[in-house]
Protein backbone atom coordinates (compact mmCIF):
# COMPACT_ATOMS: atom_id res chain seq x y z
CA UNK A 1 0.00 0.00 0.00
CA UNK A 2 1.36 3.41 -0.96
CA UNK A 3 1.41 6.14 1.70
CA UNK A 4 -1.18 8.84 1.27
CA UNK A 5 0.11 12.16 -0.05
CA UNK A 6 -1.32 15.63 0.28
CA UNK A 7 -0.59 18.76 -1.68
CA UNK A 8 0.99 21.51 0.37
CA UNK A 9 0.97 25.06 -1.00
CA UNK A 10 0.16 23.68 -4.38
CA UNK A 11 3.73 22.60 -5.21
CA UNK A 12 5.14 20.27 -2.54
CA UNK A 13 3.96 16.80 -1.72
CA UNK A 14 4.19 15.84 1.96
CA UNK A 15 3.73 12.19 2.96
CA UNK A 16 1.16 11.57 5.68
CA UNK A 17 0.70 8.48 7.80
CA UNK A 18 -2.57 6.70 8.07
CA UNK A 19 -4.32 7.26 11.40
CA UNK A 20 -3.90 3.62 12.46
CA UNK A 21 -0.09 3.72 12.19
CA UNK A 22 0.19 6.89 14.31
CA UNK A 23 -2.03 5.35 16.93
CA UNK A 24 0.19 2.24 17.01
CA UNK A 25 3.28 4.36 17.67
CA UNK A 26 1.59 6.11 20.61
CA UNK A 27 0.42 2.80 21.98
CA UNK A 28 4.02 1.49 21.87
CA UNK A 29 5.36 4.65 23.59
CA UNK A 30 2.72 4.43 26.32
CA UNK A 31 3.48 0.76 26.92
CA UNK A 32 7.23 1.51 27.12
CA UNK A 33 6.58 4.32 29.60
CA UNK A 34 4.54 2.05 31.91
CA UNK A 35 7.13 -0.71 31.67
CA UNK A 36 9.85 1.78 32.61
CA UNK A 37 7.85 3.00 35.61
CA UNK A 38 7.20 -0.57 36.75
CA UNK A 39 10.92 -1.38 36.47
CA UNK A 40 11.79 1.78 38.45
CA UNK A 41 9.32 0.82 41.18
CA UNK A 42 10.74 -2.70 41.45
CA UNK A 43 14.31 -1.35 41.65
CA UNK A 44 13.30 1.06 44.44
CA UNK A 45 11.61 -1.71 46.41
CA UNK A 46 14.69 -3.93 46.09
CA UNK A 47 17.00 -1.08 47.10
CA UNK A 48 14.90 -0.30 50.18
CA UNK A 49 14.88 -3.96 51.20
CA UNK A 50 18.69 -4.04 51.11
CA UNK A 51 18.81 -1.24 53.71
CA UNK A 52 16.85 -3.19 56.34
CA UNK A 53 18.92 -4.01 59.42
CA UNK A 54 20.06 -7.50 60.29
CA UNK A 55 17.73 -9.00 62.92
CA UNK A 56 19.26 -9.23 66.40
CA UNK A 57 19.52 -13.01 66.26
CA UNK A 58 21.82 -12.68 63.26
CA UNK A 59 24.11 -9.98 64.67
CA UNK A 60 27.58 -11.48 64.97
CA UNK A 61 29.17 -11.59 68.40
CA UNK A 62 31.88 -9.33 67.00
CA UNK A 63 29.33 -6.57 66.26
CA UNK A 64 30.62 -3.25 67.57
CA UNK A 65 29.22 -1.85 70.82
CA UNK A 66 28.18 1.79 70.58
CA UNK A 67 27.61 4.08 73.57
CA UNK A 68 24.76 6.46 72.75
CA UNK A 69 22.22 8.61 74.55
CA UNK A 70 18.46 8.18 74.30
CA UNK A 71 18.35 11.62 72.72
CA UNK A 72 20.80 10.61 69.96
CA UNK A 73 18.86 7.52 68.90
CA UNK A 74 15.50 9.32 69.17
CA UNK A 75 16.77 12.08 66.89
CA UNK A 76 18.34 9.57 64.47
CA UNK A 77 15.04 7.67 64.17
CA UNK A 78 13.10 10.91 63.72
CA UNK A 79 15.48 12.08 60.98
CA UNK A 80 15.36 8.61 59.36
CA UNK A 81 19.03 7.67 59.59
CA UNK A 82 18.91 5.39 62.64
CA UNK A 83 19.47 2.08 60.85
CA UNK A 84 22.29 3.43 58.68
CA UNK A 85 24.06 4.82 61.78
CA UNK A 86 23.31 2.17 64.40
CA UNK A 87 21.64 -0.78 62.63
CA UNK A 88 24.62 -3.15 62.85
CA UNK A 89 25.72 -2.48 66.43
CA UNK A 90 24.90 -3.51 69.95
CA UNK A 91 23.76 -0.38 71.74
CA UNK A 92 24.51 0.81 75.25
CA UNK A 93 21.87 3.52 75.68
CA UNK A 94 21.98 5.98 78.55
CA UNK A 95 18.96 8.04 79.48
CA UNK A 96 16.74 9.39 82.22
CA UNK A 97 13.66 7.28 83.02
CA UNK A 98 10.48 9.27 82.35
CA UNK A 99 7.87 6.50 82.67
CA UNK A 100 7.59 2.83 83.63
CA UNK A 101 4.89 0.39 82.49
CA UNK A 102 4.87 -2.91 84.37
CA UNK A 103 3.47 -5.94 82.51
CA UNK A 104 3.10 -9.54 83.71
CA UNK A 105 6.36 -10.84 82.23
CA UNK A 106 8.31 -7.71 81.31
CA UNK A 107 8.67 -4.00 81.99
CA UNK A 108 8.70 -1.15 79.45
CA UNK A 109 10.80 1.84 80.45
CA UNK A 110 10.48 5.12 78.58
CA UNK A 111 13.66 7.19 78.37
CA UNK A 112 13.46 10.97 78.17
CA UNK A 113 14.35 12.70 74.88
CA UNK A 114 14.29 16.29 73.64
CA UNK A 115 12.52 15.25 70.41
CA UNK A 116 9.01 13.95 69.72
CA UNK A 117 10.28 10.39 69.13
CA UNK A 118 10.19 8.34 72.34
CA UNK A 119 12.70 5.68 73.34
CA UNK A 120 10.97 2.60 74.79
CA UNK A 121 13.08 -0.13 76.36
CA UNK A 122 11.53 -3.54 77.00
CA UNK A 123 13.31 -5.12 79.98
CA UNK A 124 12.95 -8.90 80.07
CA UNK A 125 13.49 -9.10 83.82
CA UNK A 126 10.64 -7.26 85.56
CA UNK A 127 12.30 -7.69 88.97
CA UNK A 128 14.89 -5.07 88.01
CA UNK A 129 14.55 -2.05 90.28
CA UNK A 130 14.11 1.00 88.06
CA UNK A 131 12.56 4.26 89.25
CA UNK A 132 11.30 7.32 87.37
CA UNK A 133 13.86 10.12 87.36
CA UNK A 134 16.88 7.79 87.53
CA UNK A 135 19.53 7.79 84.82
CA UNK A 136 20.13 4.25 83.60
CA UNK A 137 22.14 2.48 80.92
CA UNK A 138 20.56 -0.38 79.00
CA UNK A 139 21.97 -2.78 76.42
CA UNK A 140 20.07 -3.91 73.33
CA UNK A 141 20.81 -5.27 69.88
CA UNK A 142 17.19 -5.68 68.78
CA UNK A 143 15.80 -2.32 67.70
CA UNK A 144 12.52 -1.71 65.90
CA UNK A 145 10.80 1.36 64.51
CA UNK A 146 7.50 1.88 66.27
CA UNK A 147 4.89 4.58 65.84
CA UNK A 148 6.65 7.76 67.04
CA UNK A 149 9.14 5.67 69.03
CA UNK A 150 12.36 3.68 68.99
CA UNK A 151 11.59 0.22 70.36
CA UNK A 152 14.53 -1.42 72.13
CA UNK A 153 13.56 -5.08 72.52
CA UNK A 154 15.11 -7.60 74.93
CA UNK A 155 16.97 -4.94 76.92
CA UNK A 156 19.16 -5.68 79.87
CA UNK A 157 20.87 -3.50 82.43
CA UNK A 158 24.58 -4.34 82.29
* Strand 149-155 versus strand 118-123 pairing type: parallel
Residue extents of the structural domains in the chain: 4-50, 56-155
**Residue from 85, 89, 104, 146 nearest 121 by CA:** 146
The whole-number average pLDDT for the span 24-32 is 70
Instruction: Give residue-wise pLDDT tens across range 77-121.
Output: 888 888 888 877 888 899 999 988 887 788 888 999 999 989 998
pTM (predicted TM-score): 0.58
Domain 56-155: CATH class, spelled out: mainly beta
* Angstrom distance (rounded) from CA 136 to CA 118: 16
Instruction: Look at the chain and count its residues.
Output: 158
Q: What is the mean pLDDT of the chain?
A: 76
**Does pLDDT of 4 surpass 80?**
no
H helices of 79-149, in order, are 82-86
Amino acid sequence: MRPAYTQHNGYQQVPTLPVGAAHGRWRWATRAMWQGLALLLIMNLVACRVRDPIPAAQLPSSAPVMHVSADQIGRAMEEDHFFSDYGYARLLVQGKVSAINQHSNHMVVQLETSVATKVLCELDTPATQVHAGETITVQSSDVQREEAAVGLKHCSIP
